[in-house]
Chains A and B, each alone.
Chain A
């Protein structure tokens, strides 16, 4: 089995290579790159700046061919595709993601700055999802068709039907604006720097409450029902009846026998979460004015900040590849029948 996982990790190399080619080709050939953006900007500046000197050239094209060639050289568009791909890949492998065409900051720095924020929300969401969905799913399975089961199903489904950012806006309206119980946004308060450690923690928790709820609200349904349904299947399984026939109480048959089997499908989802941890949701981030990876990725696409787009894509696809292998490891850990050869 160790050999299998080593092979899997080695397979990451060609897969990732394929992904980089895709990323490169898409950003290179989709119209509306950074040069077009700069041209548009220059156009706008000219329009705003000189009311009198609105010449024909400005209408069509404010930059000279020389200037454009310079820009192309700057962005590396002057070289043949293959050469620039290899150059980019070489830098990528060395951890150099290039410079943002919008902020002129190193891309890696920009991503690194946001990782703690996304990681913070990602981990909290993950813990809260597993922490709530697994016990809730168990309770619902054991009390299938009870009033508790029905009521919680309604809640979970309503949550599923409402997009996280809509819930975020609603919560801001009600809890922050109307009742003023929670802050309107941001991750920390204004005088965060001057607070004691304890106050900082409280402030952070207070600010995180609503965004966390917005993140969670849609995530509950899938996991809760996965847990409930697999546990119900396992409760009806022969081996649970055997366990009871041995003299175990229902409780011990559930927690000692059925539960571990029911966690197998949950384990398959576990590894994938590591990529989710870092991606976040740009809409929720936008609503709460949180500067995380989601927002960064979204804005870089809108602004054609290709080095950032490529960097974010490369990192998240790498995480996804590793996550898949982690999932398989989790499954192998909980299910002894699984043998990867």
Chain B
């Protein structure tokens, strides 16, 4: 695997929806960067803005309600936010591929699988002639683990299982040989054994092609299996980001700690009650202005506050003590943003 320069860098991204109740910011000042040849996990509970982040990168937010308000999304040196629609269209499928959560609905029900896959070749490899495209499509289908690929080409999506459909989705996303793959909860809708197979497939393909993967999930366990880095998202913001090992060993943000303690483990005592994060994500239109930090530490958000540990206090968003202004406070002790190794409670942002 390669060096690890950031191939995709999201900076201060704000994405919003115009709803009946006014403008709602579903993604609020999110920054992260995906390094070439690595897998970055984006984790957070349902509704926290993971899909909106992914769709912003693809510039596929539902029109006309969804808009990118500000921020930049750099793919190498191109800012995707500023691209004209026809230029962006050439990025999709060729530079960035995407797979979605629902394999049941993500494929066109009235087109044969072969046709849907060959379409990608026709789009991104116009030099290849029609017969060759079909052959490549069959080869790709077998490559993603679909048995009897040639026969599958003539079938409709409803004729194959959910796991097979997700493999077809993966094949379609990879057909244009993208540098970046966005996988938005690709295993959530599948049953457990199939989940493991799909994860393994993505991991194998990533190793083989060296592409970078933004892997979105709500399950920390999955992150531990395949990711190098992880960003934890809560209510439209990234509350903590770190290399996987560091995050699991030493979670800094109370929300991350809550997530980790509520994960079932083999080592936990038999039949003990699983700790849960209480409450639900507050409605985005009702978030208090400013930093979410205080909410966590007063228990408003229901993160279990156990023995009053020093670490958590240090993490709280009080008055800046270390000379850094509020919006970009750092969780790591003194020494500033650099010293935290990127593990900021970024974005206690101005809203």
Residues in A with CB closer than 8 Å to B156 are 336-337
Assembly CA distance A260 to B109 (angstroms): 10
B137 within 8 Å of A by Cβ? no
Output the least CB separation between B2 and chain A (Å).
25
A131 within 8 Å of B by Cβ? no
B123 touches A248 (CB 8 A): yes
Output the least CB separation between B62 and chain A (Å).
7
Residue from B85, B93, B110, B158 within 8 A of A334 (CB atoms): B110
B110 touches A247 (CB 8 A): no
Assembly CA distance A250 to B120 (angstroms): 15
Output the least CB separation between A92 and chain B (Å).
42
Output the least CB separation between A80 and chain B (Å).
56
Number of A interface residues, CB 8 Å?
23
Beta-carbon nearest neighbor of A238 in chain B: B105
Assembly CA distance A244 to B119 (angstroms): 12
Identify the stretch in B94-102, B213-221, B252-260, B279-287 within 8 Å (CB) of chain A at 4 or more residues.
B94-102
B102 touches A247 (CB 8 A): no
Residues in A with CB closer than 8 Å to B109 are 239, 261, 335-337
A249 within 8 Å of B by Cβ? yes
Residues in A with CB closer than 8 Å to B108 are 239, 242-243, 257, 261
B26 within 8 Å of A by Cβ? no
The digit string for B66-103, where 1 denotes a CB below 8 A from any CB of A, is: 00000000000000000001100111111001101010
Beta-carbon nearest neighbor of A264 in chain B: B110
Assembly CA distance A242 to B98 (angstroms): 8
Assembly CA distance A236 to B92 (angstroms): 18
A245 within 8 Å of B by Cβ? yes
A336 touches B60 (CB 8 A): no
Residue from A239, A244, A261 within 8 A of B92 (CB atoms): A244
Residues in A with CB closer than 8 Å to B98 are 245
Assembly CA distance A87 to B68 (angstroms): 77
B60 touches A244 (CB 8 A): yes
Q: Which of A23-45 contact B (CB under 8 A)?
A: none
Report, as a range, how many residues of chain B touch the other chain. 20 to 34
B107 touches A245 (CB 8 A): no
Residues in A with CB closer than 8 Å to B169 are 242
A237 within 8 Å of B by Cβ? yes
Residues in B with CB closer than 8 Å to A242 are 100, 106-108, 169, 172
A79 within 8 Å of B by Cβ? no
- Of B86, B105, B109, chain A has the most CB atoms within 10 Å of the CB of B109
- Of B60, B108, B176, chain A has the most CB atoms within 10 Å of the CB of B108
A336 touches B110 (CB 8 A): yes
Contact status of A247 and B93, CB under 8 A, knowing A242-B169, A257-B111: yes
The digit string for A7-34, where 1 denotes a CB below 8 A from any CB of B, is: 0000000000000000000000000000
Assembly CA distance A239 to B90 (angstroms): 19
B312 within 8 Å of A by Cβ? no
Output the least CB separation between A44 and chain B (Å).
64
Residues in B with CB closer than 8 Å to A334 are 110
A91 within 8 Å of B by Cβ? no
B100 touches A247 (CB 8 A): no
28 contacting pairs across A/B (C-beta < 8 A): A238-B100, A238-B102, A238-B105, A238-B106, A239-B107, A239-B108, A242-B107, A242-B108, A242-B172, A244-B89, A245-B58, A245-B92, A245-B97, A245-B98, A246-B92, A246-B93, A246-B119, A247-B90, A247-B92, A247-B124, A247-B176, A248-B89, A248-B123, A261-B108, A261-B109, A334-B110, A336-B110, A336-B158
- Chain B interface residues (CB < 8 Å from chain A): 58, 60, 62, 85-86, 89-94, 97-98, 100, 102, 105-111, 119-120, 123-124, 156, 158, 169, 172-173, 176
Instruction: Taking A245-B98, A246-B123, A264-B110 as given, write out 5 further A-B residue pairs in contact, using a Cβ cutoff of 8 Å, ordered by the A residue number.
Output: A239-B109, A246-B120, A249-B89, A334-B110, A336-B158
